[in-house]
Structure 1
Amino acid sequence: MEERKGRKIIMFPLPFQGHLNPMIQLARIFHNLGFSITILHTSFNFPDPSHYPPFTFRTIPHNNEGGEDPLTQPEASSMDLVAFIRLLRQTYEDPFRRSLAGEVGKGDTSSCCLVSDVVWAKHAEFAAEEVGIDRMVLITNSVASFCAFAALPLLRDKDYLPIQDYRLDELVTEVSPLKVKDLPVMETSEPKELYQIASDMVKGANSSSGVIWNTFEDLEKLPLMDFSSKFQVPIFPIGPFHKQSDNLLPTTKNKEDYETTDWLNKQEPQSVVYVSFGSLADIEEKEFLEIAWGLRNSERPFLWVVRPGFVQGTEWLEALPSGFVENMGHKGKIVKWVNQLEVLAHPAVGAFWTHCGWNSTIESICEGVPMICTPCFTDQRVNSRYIVDVWRIGIELERSKMDKREIEKAISSVMVEEGDGIREMCLELKERADVCLDKDGSSFKNLENLVSHILSFNSYAKIT
């Protein structure tokens, strides 16, 4: 601990909740190990510094001098993800370089390294080289989904892409067990730029001083081997992050949190279907109503997170039929937000209907909760295939086939029939997740190796 005192790790997360949360969790882990933490962040969707008093936060000024951050403009919210990443780069690439240079400073020897999101890896590479600081990357996806994303240019050359409807169920042998419909593509008007993003991520990761993963060896042994065979870079699978960082800093609860907990406390063990589709996806009103009636008709208690703006063209619940909420009674509860970690850990929760984002996936695995998988885009499709066919801890409910009757059947399959020993497999993976964090566990040892690796860096800060 003493050798880390005063040593600083600079971190740069992307301003998407699914990327920001694991970076903050990693920062907590580093801080608990004795490092000081500085977080560079955009002025768009930035964390509340008051929630993390041990960290130093530095806002990177955007390059639209005298105006608003372009990322906050109404037109930015309607962009596809590829276009948004391009705007992020245009808005922050040069300001990021200047901010990093100012943070490191002339002759600074306290800064150990920069940890950036892998999507920013190529831009971080040039900035880190300029100031003479070592650079690591955090990959916030699963190893399997990153390997699939990295393979997109190859899969395009082999005519898997663009995806053709008649091939959706065809096995992609290059990234088995994925099918064509599982490939982590994005809907975009700039497909060439998507492949360039994939290429930049690969190059940025491969040229870094190491890759950090929010996963553990027993969960993704084969994908980790695949990655190591293709990338000549040290890897550190030290997850699950939240199991190491959740007690390091206090969290505050509001009235809605207590109401949700009180409602869960009144339910029978493993009786509740928890439903949440993440922070980015949106759906049409027709889909929303199918979900509502499917949950209602299942006759199982449900806790449903409906994010404001989740339903296209509405603010929140306006699309529900008159009296729907009132007539749910104690059988259902609809909220705008929950503390997902607390909900998944509650004994009343028996299944998680999820979009299969990686954070949600690994959090559910850690609590032994079976999943109903309705992926929306990119890596979520890969995660869903692994949940259903590799780890066998959930069932698939495809978005294209989602109606109230199929929803009822899926809920019954997981909650009542428990087909194919899903719950037993969930408990087995939960135990493995716990074991990996023990003193002799793989994540514990990998974290020790990561700390030693960081302390071996000889940053020389060549700002003049």
Structure 2
Amino acid sequence: MPPHHHRILLIPYPVQGHINPAFEFAKRLITLGAHVTISTTIHMHNRITNKPTLPNLSYLPFSDGYDDGYKGKGNDAYLLYTAEFKRRGSEFIVKTILSNSQQGTPFTCLVHSLLLQWAAQAARELHLPTALLWVQPATVFDIFYYYYHGFSDSIKKLSCCIELPGLPLLLSSRDLPSFLLEPCPNPSANYALVSLFEEQFNDLDVETNPTTILVNSFEALEPEALRAVEKLNMISIGPLISSAFLDERNPSDDSSFGDQAHIFQPSNACVEWLDSKTEKSVVYVSFGSHCVLSKIQMEEIARALLDCGFPFLWVIREAKEGEKEEDLSCREELEEEGKIVKWCSQVEILSHPSLGCFLSHCGWNSSFESLVSGVPMVAFPQWADQTTNAKLIEDVWKIGVGVDHELNEDGIVGGGEIKRCLEVVMGSGKKAGEMRKNAEKWKGLAREAVKEGGSSDKNLRAFLDLIAES
């Protein structure tokens, strides 16, 4: 089947960390001649401020029953939400697949991001091929897979050294996704997600044909992890980052393809401020679209930034509705020494020549964007896959240092430790030089992967050929 006959129904989980790679995946498919329909919740669809407008890209939002956004608190409320999301989403998928077939424009595949296995189940009932878009590293996928396939006891032991088949790195409990730890750090937040992940991985055993796992990674970055689970078809198609940045073109040359999708309004003044700084002199600080740091932890970060003396760009999101806005005691001093914004276009910031370091929560999008931009990191993980990503950043890819895991009595990383890490990465010592050299190496390999004929490009073309044979 020629690529232009492919019609892909793409269902991303309605959070920023899934939306961005899903949009970039859609753009890649369209470049290869496919038509893509992106369906997410009405609430998320309305929040995205700059949806791409491209030929062969359409949007079909659906209601999850919470069109003004989910505002519930506690485990029971979240379980109620996920049940309603699943019910309405499944009905929508069946209706949409049948409707397109009746109109003579049938879908050839449904692709969904993680935690939406009900989407695959609905499509399978109508004999439509499916694929899972995994928006975390292959290593994290493997850890989850093994946890739900016979290795849960060894992982739960919290031993100092955990070895899993096919993975070259030895893990400690602090390197594992936080959902898998027992007792887990935040039981009420983790319980529902653990059950969703269990359903996700049990679902992979249902299909007689191996499920295709499309991983936002690339061959050179995780060669062993992509092959660790022999029975599954894991293929790397990343980095799922705008081609404008990967090609080092000016993103403003093509607004449809250049920018990231945002659920917050970015500040317009960041690039001009960065233009005024010298090369590799600026520390960029962001903890993503979801993490909320305590005021005490924010104060420690602020003290570290001021004590270091490096210019910095710090993203501090607005408080959510119903949350108290916590202002920093040294805000005035911070704004004299650096720049504080509510949101920014992150890839544009990371690709700026003045960037020297990224102090990050290590969400996979942020970690990958930093790697692809050649910017070393201070890894400050909070939860979920971020702890594993931090391990890879520091010990496998060697492009950053992690903050000490020894917390004070309040569970806070002190400003002195954060300052130490920043000075190592931003310094002129041997370790800083090695990290910059490694960052440049991975930057080059990432770009090679997505070029025509590169490993990720060939894998994506092979995926479309596989659908055609289904």
User: TM-score scaled to structure 2, two decimals?
Assistant: 0.84
Does residue 223 of the first structure (1) align with residue 222 of the second (2)? no
Which amino acid in 1 is paired with 2:153?
K
CA distance in 2, matches of 1:252, 1:447: 22
Question: For 1:123-162, what per-residue CA distance to the aligned partner results, in whole angstroms no more than 9, with x for missing partners?
Answer: 1232112222111110111001111122334677425427
Of 276-285 and 92-101, more deviation after overlay is shown by 92-101
CA 1:58–1:407 in structure 2 vs 1: closer, same or farther (change >3 Å)?
Answer: same
- Alpha-carbon contact 2:8-2:37 (below 8 Å) kept: yes
Indicate if the aligned counterparts of 2:136 and 2:385 stay in contact, CA closer than 8 A.
yes
Query: Any residues of structure 2 matched to 1:2-401 within 5 Å, and which?
Result: 3-46=2-45, 48=48, 51-54=51-54, 55-62=57-64, 64=65, 68-69=66-67, 72-74=69-71, 76=72, 78-79=73-74, 84=78, 86-104=79-97, 105=99, 106-107=101-102, 108=104, 110-121=106-117, 123-153=118-148, 157-158=152-153, 160-161=155-156, 163=158, 170-174=160-164, 176-186=169-179, 187-189=186-188, 194-205=193-204, 207=207, 209-227=211-229, 229=230, 232-244=231-243, 249=256, 257-309=267-319, 314-315=324-325, 318-321=326-329, 324-328=330-334, 331-398=337-404, 400=407
Question: Identity of paired residues, percent?
Answer: 27
**Secondary structure of the corresponding residue to residue 151 of structure 1:** helix
Ranges in structure 2 where 5+ consecutive residues have no aligned partner: 180-185, 246-250
Aligned-residue offset at 1:409: 1.0
Distance 1:264 1:218, change over 3 A: same
Instruction: Measure how far apart 1:19 and its partner are.
Output: 1.1
- Paired residues in the alignment total 434
Measure, in 1, the Cα distance between the counterparts of 2:358 and 2:144: 26
Structure 1 residues 155 and 183: alpha-carbon distance in aligned structure 2, compared to 1, 3 A threshold: farther
Q: Does 1:424 align with 2:437?
A: yes
Q: Aligned partners of 1:192 and 1:330: how far apart in 2?
A: 43
Q: Please state whether the residue corresponding to 2:356 is helix, strand or coil.
A: strand
Q: State the Cα deviation string for residues 239-267 of structure 1 (Å, max 9, x = none).
A: 11114376662567999644111110011
Deviations 1:144-184 (A, max 9, x none): 11111223346774254275xxx5xx111236422111111
User: Quick one: which amino acid aligns to residue 278 of structure 2?
Assistant: E
Q: Is the 8 A contact 2:367 2:389 kept in 1?
A: yes
Q: Secondary structure at the match of 2:228?
A: helix
CA distance in structure 2 between the aligned counterparts of 1:240 and 1:252, rounded to whole angstroms: 15
Rate the CA distance shift 1:391–1:251 in 2: closer, same or farther, 3 A. Answer: closer
Q: Is the 8 A contact 1:372 1:410 kept in 2?
A: yes
Q: Is the 8 A contact 1:112 1:134 kept in 2?
A: yes
SS at match of 2:141: helix
Q: Secondary structure at the match of 1:304?
A: strand
Letter in 1 for 2:16: Q
Which structure has more RCO (C-alpha within 8 Å, separation ≥ 6)? 1
Structure 1 residues 244 and 177: CA distance shift in structure 2, 3 A = farther
- TM-score (ref. length: structure 1): 0.85
After TM superposition, the structure 1 stretch with the greater mean CA deviation from structure 2, 326-335 or 353-362, is 326-335
Q: Is the 8 A contact 2:243 2:257 kept in 1?
A: no
What value does the CA root-mean-square deviation take over the aligned residues?
2.9
For 1:153 and 1:101, locate their aligned partners in 2 and report how far apart those are by CA, in whole Å: 29
Separation of aligned partners in 2, 1:446 and 1:239 = 10
What do residues 45-82 of structure 1 show as CA deviations (whole Å, max 9, x unaligned)?
235486222332222233x5xxx54x8343x2x446x9
- Specify whether residues 424 and 209 from structure 1 end up closer, same or farther in structure 2 by C-alpha distance, changes over 3 A only: same
Structure 1 partner of 2:183: none
What's the secondary structure of 1:236's corresponding residue? strand
Whole-Å Cα distance in 2 between the matches of residues 131 and 259 of structure 1? 49
Post-superposition offset of 1:313 = 5.4
Do structure 1's residue 440 and structure 2's residue 453 form an aligned pair?
A: yes
Q: Distance in 2 between matches of 1:287 and 1:311?
A: 21
Output the CA distance in 2 between the equivalents of 1:196 and 1:396.
30
The amino acid of 2:197's aligned partner reads A
CA contact (8 A) 1:25 1:241 kept: yes
SS in 2 for 1:111: coil
Identify if the C-alpha distance between structure 1 residues 213 and 303 changes in structure 2 by more than 3 Å, giving closer, same or farther: same
The Cα shift of 1:418 comes to: 4.4
Q: Which amino acid aligns with 1:189?
A: S
Amino acid at match of 1:179: S
Kindly indicate whether the alpha-carbon contact (under 8 Å) linking 2:214 and 2:234 is maintained by their aligned counterparts in 1: yes
Looking at structure 2, the residues matched to 25 and 83 of structure 1 have their Cα atoms a distance apart, in angstroms, of 32
